[in-house]
Amino acid sequence: MSNVENEMTAWRKASCSGSGANCVEIGASSTHVGVRDTKDREAGHIAVPFAQWSAFLAGVKAGEFDLS
Q: pTM of the prediction?
A: 0.73
- pLDDT for the residue 38: 86
Distance CA 67, CA 29 (A): 31
- The 8-class DSSP code of residue 68 comes to -
User: Would you kindly state where each structural domain of the chain is located, as residue ranges?
Assistant: 3-61
- Evaluate if residue 39 carries a pLDDT over 70: yes
| Max CA distance (Å), the chain | 39
The string of pLDDT tens digits covering residues 1-32 is 455 556 787 889 877 776 766 788 999 999 99
